[in-house]
Amino acid sequence: MPNFFYDPFHKQVYLLEINTRISQSHADLFEKIHGVSHHQIMLQLALGEKPKPLGNKGKFRYAAKFMLRTFDSGKVVAVPSDEEIESVMNEMPGTIVKVLVKEGQQLAKMELQDSYSYELADIFIGADKRSELVDKYDRVIEMITFSIKKDF
């Protein structure tokens, strides 16, 4: 998958990289929109088969992965309960909340994080309109509980 960089000063787009790895985190997004995981397409190609055209046969027209982050270091005091996550799934079918931290965890000791923030959860959402993605994300954030005791 190619990644691009836009230089607004020069009004030019540059190729940043071509990532040949197949991203597991994109599988749900493809399935939400196309009704099939991109892993299946890659498997067909690996077997020398010609994949069928994707089309939009999924449950949603749009899909997004939101990475819930905090910019404050500290200790995780509370994470969403199973009941909170189940409520999200019941209210917004197809929404997945993948909690990436545990109670008692020190955020500063997390691995594979950038130098200025800490990823608390991945939230996968499908919607029929782009604006609905953000509305659903906002609703998920209202429904789940994260509590961080900040380091001072």
Please answer whether residues 68 and 119 qualify as being in contact, where contact means their C-beta atoms are separated by less than 8 angstroms. yes
Kindly report the number of other CB atoms within 10 A of residue 99's CB atom. 18
Mean pLDDT of the chain: 87
- Residue 52: its pLDDT value, please? 79
- Residue 56: its pLDDT value, please? 85
Find residue 64's DSSP bridge partners: 125
What SS3 state is found at 57? Answer: coil
Whether pTM > 0.75 for this model: the answer is yes
Phi-psi region of 128 (alpha: psi -120 to 50; beta: other; left: phi over 0): alpha
Regions of the chain with pLDDT less than 50: none
Domains in the chain, ordered, with CATH? 1-58 (no CATH), 60-152 (3.90.1170.30)
Q: How far apart are CA 63 and CA 34, in angstroms?
A: 10
Please answer whether residues 121 and 97 qualify as being in contact, where contact means their C-beta atoms are separated by less than 8 angstroms. yes
Find residue 147's DSSP bridge partners: 78
- Distance from the first to the final alpha carbon of the chain: 41
